[in-house]
Amino acid sequence: MLQLPFIRENKEAVIKRLAVRNIDAKPLIDQVIILDEERRALQTQLDNVLAESNSISKEIGMLFKSGKAEEANALKAKTGDLKESSKTLSEQLNQKADALNQLLYQIPNVPHDSVPSGNTDEDNEEIYKEGDIPQLHSEALPHWELAKKYDIIDFELGNKITGAGFPVYKGKGARLQRALIAYFLDKNTEAGYTEFQFPHLVNETSGFGTGQLPDKEGQMYHVTGDNLYLIPTAEVPGTNIFRDVLLNESDLPIGITGYTPCFRREAGSYGAHVRGLNRLHQFDKVEIIRVEHPDNSYNALDSMVNHIKEILKELKLPYRILRLCGGDIGFTSALTFDFEVFSTAQDRWLEISSVSNFETYQANRLKLRFKNKEGKNELAHTLNGSSLALPRVLAGILENYQTEKGIKIPDVLVPYTGFEWID
């Protein structure tokens, strides 16, 4: 969440930048500032009462030592009143702090100055495009038809076992899926990211730490009996590794990667655009996560973008990069770049990666800090990116690499699959 001193000192700038998200934040910011003033006033009262109580306690001790028991006992009655007063003020302070946090949880991150205005994904800014769109043969098929033709993904079976959006990968489809995961992890570890295996369920505190709660509670699968959540992305367990951690400046930067299945309810999704692998409730993804010094986080963001570019070049898939507009950027992000691969058989772009800088927004919730050169504790910056999300990468490979003979496996993946064709 946003830091209170930052809001107090930059009130008008915060309201102006949040307007890029199409949000009139003034009423909420005004409430935050009023509540914060009330909280600070209560804190001052409590500090004064505690200071007076401590002073009187010392005075009582001195009186007893001086043999003035009667005066000491008279003062003890006053300390009882002060203790009662401090208890009441502490309760009021906690209530005020809780109310303040509930307001802060409702305020999204302030967009970076480069984030363009806009309402929907149609207003996102294309900043880069690479790769030739292949010319397919006349009987080319979308990936869901190819999956059926070559018996590599069974959507109906997944529907039978669980429900729509839970496909079953079979034979060469399963092996291609496994090959992509191994390839992505290898590329990430070669780039210096340390591989982790994460839990697939997280507690409520972890959900709040990275900002999925309360913002996206309706999109997460909730195991109510244990109050745990199925992860929507490895970002959640991966970033929470650093919750309540105080790093040394020399520890930075930190880069980690991991493969997980991801679970999203995708409530309200419908229509032709969700066919096949386009939108699923369970899918596989390899993630990269970085913890950075604030001075270096945007250089790190650029390096993450370049890293994903390199992967897509090796896969030889046509892709483009979008800078997300204020109306499409995620709740916790300051700046996000989306990668989209062109699906030739569907004649549309499919999102395969989001790379974001959260600046201090997540770190403030996580209490993720480092000790800087002056010896002061400072919030770190957190970043993450899909590297990559598998379903639409797989869809792009199936559709763009299809021939009349079968589906050619990208050269870079052959050592991982052990076969060159799906036929």
The tokens for 48 are: 């004064």
**Annotation-wise, does 233 bind a ligand?**
yes
Is the distance from CB of 319 to CB of 339 less than 8 angstroms? yes
How many Cα atoms within 13 Å fall on the side-chain side of residue 404?
A: 4
DSSP states of 99-155? HHHHHHTTSPPPPPTTPPP-SSGGGPEEEEEESPPP---TT---HHHHHHHTT-EEH
Cα dihedral 122, 124, 126, 129 sign: negative
Q: Is 287 annotated as a binding residue?
A: yes
Q: Is 94 annotated as a binding residue?
A: no
Cα of first residue to Cα of last residue in the chain, in angstroms, is: 51
Is 264 labelled a binding residue? yes
What DSSP string describes 338-373? EEEEEETTTTEEEEEEEEEE-TTHHHHHHT-EEE-T
Is 387 annotated in a binding site? The answer is no
Written in H, E and C, the secondary structure of 365-422 is HHCCEEECCCCCEEECEEEEEEEEEHHHHHHHHHHHCECCCCEECCHHHHHHHCCCEE
Q: Rounded to a whole number, what is the largest CA-CA distance in the chain? A: 106
Is 316 within 8 Å of 409 (Cβ atoms)? no
DSSP 8-state secondary structure symbol assigned to residue 287: E
265 known ligand binder: yes
266 marked ligand binding residue: yes
Is 133 annotated to bind ligand?
A: no
User: What CA–CA distances, in Å, run from 58 to 51, 61, 62, 72, 80?
Assistant: 11, 5, 6, 10, 14
Question: Which residues define the annotated binding site?
Answer: 233, 264-266, 287, 351-354, 384
Question: Which residues define the annotated binding site for ATP?
Answer: 264-266, 351-354
Question: Which residues define the annotated binding site for L-serine?
Answer: 233, 264, 287, 384
